[in-house]
Amino acid sequence: MTDIILINPSGRKKTYQELDSGFTAIEIPIWAGLITTFLRNKDHQVKLIDANALGLGPEETLELVLKESPLLVAVIAYGHNPSASTQTMPATLGLIEKINESSFKGKSIIVGGHAAALPKKTLDESSADFVCSGEGPHTLDKLLRALKEDLPIKDVEGLCFKINDQVIQTNPSPFVEKLDLEMGSIPWDDFPIQNYRSHNWHAFGHDSRQPYISLYTTLGCPYSCSFCCIQAPFKEGELSVGLKPQSSSYRKWSSESILSQIDHVVTKYKVKHIKFADELFVLDKNHVTKICDGLIERNYDLNIWAYSRVDTITESLVKKLSMAGVKWICLGIESFNEESLDDVNKNFTKAQLKDSIKMLKENKINIIGNFIFGLPSDTISSMTETLKLAMELELDFANFYSAMAYPGSELYKEAVQKGFPLPENWDGYSQHSFNCLPLPTNSLSGSEVLNFRDSAFHQYFEDPAYLEYVNGKFGPSAKAEIESFTKIKLKRKHSK
């Protein structure tokens, strides 16, 4: 008998509009996999449904649930980007409603970063029996034991639920401390590996974007950028181990665990494209070096990409990364305006940025830059300066974001306290959705910020000099790919 079904919900179309038609990545739901491993190690019978990768709607997903009839259905609303959990909430809430309106006799729970940031609000908005207020594994284990053995639900840590319309939130749940032992690998064979595809830019110069996988080598981030909500699901666990509220945890898998997983997917599925989905991979020199040394020894000829801060790039690490098969590094540049960088606790210098870019280029690592428009001190002038300098850097690709008040971030707390306009729906937290509404700055409305972001996107990617650069480096197919997606004009409710 199946004890629990973990579901990664679908809903890409609403999140990305027309960009979903082949341009966006289809990511493996890492957290659903990790939780599956954790629960199996606790002797629970677990099944996993990636409705997103399989293209299953709510009705088709419900059919699979009813066929198995588990004690518990957990909809896992996690994602690889800070916005991803929140923007999947419409699909999550819709699926939960569909399940609970059916003949299903079991219980339901929502797990994920958004739910952990706003557990009571999530409970009020959904028909779920429970909401998880932490990262999930320990809570789901104890909840399953309570359901099997008819134990008091109030003793399960990390839960939010109602009794007679009264909201009950239980004590904080610990997070998983022994990563290698308790969830040392994703259950790769439970996933439709053939359905996942890389970002289009990740495969520039390659014949195909598949097969592709992503995995974590670390959890959390020790920095405190005010726009980021990545620590939201870990806060309960941090309190349980005695960390102060302003501190952030940073946990690591061993290099042996990571390399073993890569061995498996390369050998069995012929995977070439890999994403290290860590919020910040290039940080711990010893950790990165051990993984790189193992990959260099294996000589798999991989195409890996990972995140780095500008100020964690060093010459020795860059050389290792290049030899290990890391072909792309994504730098969190955000802005070129010092006041705007101060707004979000970023403190690198322009000299550091130039040095980091130079080191990466010299070691033949492609660079993608992340930029944010609409930080509190931003003006049209400062955003124009950021765009101008971004175009002068000769990056290989760029992501342009609007500053958003993601639940779980400091910007969200500030926006609520100050009464700033926020998106009417959770899908409005997606950068590419129709309902997207960025934060206002000290001098600009959210609509003005959004309008600038969309204009900047087309100005950057339609620039003849950039297109010629891409054509020369990656070939005509990469140039054609960019020309194809720039033909899509996102529809916006709040754009002027």
Distance CA 424, CA 303 (A): 39
β 4-8/250-252 pair status: unpaired
Q: Please provide residue 257's backbone torsions phi and psi, each rounded to the nearest 5 degrees.
A: -65, -45
pLDDT values of the chain reduced to their tens digit, one per residue, 496 residues: 899 999 999 876 656 566 566 778 899 999 999 999 999 999 999 999 999 999 999 999 999 999 999 999 999 998 766 567 898 999 999 999 999 999 999 999 999 999 999 999 999 999 999 999 999 999 999 999 999 999 999 999 999 999 998 999 999 999 999 999 999 999 999 999 999 999 999 999 999 999 999 999 999 988 888 888 888 889 888 888 888 877 789 999 999 999 999 999 999 999 999 999 999 999 999 999 999 999 999 999 999 999 999 999 999 999 999 999 999 999 999 888 878 777 666 778 888 999 999 999 999 999 999 999 999 999 999 999 999 999 999 999 999 999 999 999 989 999 999 999 999 999 999 999 999 999 999 999 999 999 999 999 999 999 999 999 999 999 999 999 999 999 989 999 998 6
Q: Which residues lie below 8 Å from residue 307, measured CB to CB, with a gap of 6+?
A: 276, 278, 279, 280, 281, 282, 329, 330, 332
Q: Distance (Å, rounded) from C-alpha 213 to C-alpha 29?
A: 10
333/344 Cα distance (integer angstroms) = 12
Residue 452: partners with Cβ closer than 8 Å, 6 or more residues away: 373, 374, 380, 383
Q: Which uninterrupted H or E stretch holds 476? A: helix 476-485
Q: What is the pLDDT of residue 83?
A: 63
Rounded CA gap, 337 and 66, in Å?
54
Beta-carbon contacts of 338 under 8 Å, excluding residues fewer than 6 positions away, are: none
Q: What is the per-residue pLDDT for 16?
A: 59
Give the integer Cα–Cα distance in Å for 433 and 422: 14
Question: What's the pTM?
Answer: 0.95
- In CATH, which superfamily holds the domain spanning 197-217+253-403+438-485? tm_1862 like domain (3.80.30.20)
Q: Are 223 and 345 in contact (CB under 8 A)?
A: yes
User: Under DSSP, is residue 13 helix (H, G, I), strand (E, B) or coil?
Assistant: helix
* 457: Cβ contacts below 8 Å, ≥ 6 apart: 400, 486
Cross-strand bridge partners of residue 367: 329
For residues 308 and 330, the answer to whether their CB atoms sit within 8 Å is yes
Phi and psi of 428, rounded to 5°?
A: -70, -10
Give the C-alpha separation, 55 to 15, whole Å.
14
Other C-beta atoms within 10 Å of 169: how many?
14
Could you tell me the residue ranges of all domains in the chain? 4-169, 197-217+253-403+438-485
The fold of the 4-169 domain, in CATH, is Rossmann fold (3.40.50)
